[in-house]
Amino acid sequence: MTEITMTPKPLLPWSGHFRATMRLAMPLVGAFLAQQSLQLGDTIMLGWLGAEPLAAGVLGSTFWFMGFIIAVGFSQVVMPMVASAEGEGDIRGVRRATRMGLWAVTIVMALLLPLYWQTEAILLAFGQEPELAALADDYLGIAMWALFPAAAVLVLRAHLSALERPGIVLWIAIAGAILNLGLNWALIFGNFGAPQMGIRGAATATLITNIVMTGMLVVYALWQQDLRKYNLFVRFYRPDWGALREVFVLGLPVAATLLAEFGLFAGSTTMMGWLGTVPLAAHGIALQITSVFFMVPLGIMSAGTIRVGNAYGRRDPVGLDRAAKTVLIMGLAFALFAALVLLTVPGPLVSLFLDRDAPEVEAILAMGVSLLAVAAIFQLVDIAQVISAGLLRGIKDTRRPMVIAITSYWVIGLPVAYVLGFPLGWGGAGVWAGMAIGLAYAAVMLTLRFMRRAELGLV
């Protein structure tokens, strides 16, 4: 690992770090919230159809998110690679990282397609109800094709964010969110003269929205004058084997890290399905609500990855340290706010997803409120682990965090969730408590690793 040596630079005060982080983080937070609204809109509108379509949508979107989270892993390494190259003034390095990032996610999404063709069989093997498995398979038969443009969106957003163009990332994400809501309203329920497609309409809306967003990002990258120097799509068909290898070497551990966390939540979804349709529906609602809150620290984390990556490329250890501490403080402050909201107004939040005339509404509402109480408790550790992981990516440390993640989520989190939820009889609350314990272990280990980065020879 290359050692970062001190170079003479004006020392940016703490207030300067805070302002710089906020300028970068706020548009990214907005973009992540807009991105999350795509799934949020699906969940809300499918909830209006009833508990069964909602539960099937939860299963289908969870399975779809597996591929999406792998693409997130690769985009998360493109971001520090671009930021570091930009910090060094290496235009070619910026182009190589982004272009081969697009190659990498396309290859990986293609490799995942055979898995999605077996959705119904896989869900049945994991003990899901046949009706729910069949509906989830209908959803993924269309939605799986959306993984290709969705992955491209992630890489292009990482490219523009690392070049400190978060504004356009935000506006395109907002446009996508609005388009998705309109398409959902039309295609799920048959409004505006469109066919009434139910759960397949939600999948079709996701596919169209991601294609449009990809096109918008490509047009911007080609049109914007100060971005043309990167020649992002010139001879795009030509492989750059060295850059592609670096993207895979750094990206696979990050994808595995995120996949391990996804496995924790996917495993919890499977367990909630064992408890029945109502617990699974409540679980899906609670996950969507907490995911919306999670977009804020995710945006802050991305800003931290970029700023730490820039400092790493400049060989500026003092700037790196201050940028990291600023991001950690901001993230933990938001965690306290999120916990307060989840504890004080859980009922109205859950009610947004429910038809008050549905027969299952009171049972779903009661369970959703209890799950949000557990979620409020683990906000601090969940946010701490994601931000610390992002800071480690900024200094290109990905392998050891992967081991920590697998241990935290699969060796600790899932077994504890099962024991608390079933043998000890805690039900859904026990499953969520097990998730919290796994996240807490990850938070402690990742934060300690970043704090000891110099001692470990990471910088």
End-to-end CA distance of the chain: 7
For 356-407, how does the pLDDT look when each residue is reduced to its tens digit (9 = 90+)?
Answer: 776 788 888 999 999 999 899 888 888 999 999 999 988 989 899 999 999 9
Q: Evaluate whether 216 touches 152 at the Cβ level (below 8 Å).
A: no
Please report the pLDDT score of residue 144 as a whole number: 94
Rounded distance, CA 230 to CA 334, Å? 36
pLDDT range class, residue 346, cuts 50, 70, 90? very high
Q: Which percentage of the chain shows pLDDT scores above 70?
A: 98
The H or E element containing residue 273 is helix 241-275
For the record, the structure tokens of 451 come out as 């704090």
pLDDT range class, residue 10, cuts 50, 70, 90? low
For 114-155, how does the pLDDT look when each residue is reduced to its tens digit (9 = 90+)?
Answer: 999 998 898 888 787 888 889 889 999 999 999 999 999 999
Rounded distance, CA 450 to CA 321, Å? 10
pLDDT beyond 80 at 59: yes
At residue 456, φ and ψ (nearest 5 deg) are -85, 0
Taking the CB of residue 249, how many other CB atoms lie within 10 A of it? 13
Where would I find the H helices in 50-90?
A: 51-87
Rounded distance, CA 111 to CA 213, Å? 23
For the record, the structure tokens of 146 come out as 């959306």
pLDDT beyond 50 at 71: yes
Identity of the residue numbered 325: K
Q: Evaluate whether 156 touches 168 at the Cβ level (below 8 Å).
A: no
Average pLDDT over residues 437-446: 94
Rounded distance, CA 336 to CA 302, Å? 20
Rounded distance, CA 357 to CA 362, Å? 10
Q: Evaluate whether 433 touches 284 at the Cβ level (below 8 Å).
A: no
For the record, the structure tokens of 25 come out as 């983080």
Which residue in this structure is represented by tokens 């990482």?
158
Distances in whole angstroms, Cα of residue 334 to Cα of each of 23, 136, 298, 441: 16, 34, 11, 20
Please report the pLDDT score of residue 9 as a whole number: 53
Rounded distance, CA 164 to CA 380, Å? 28
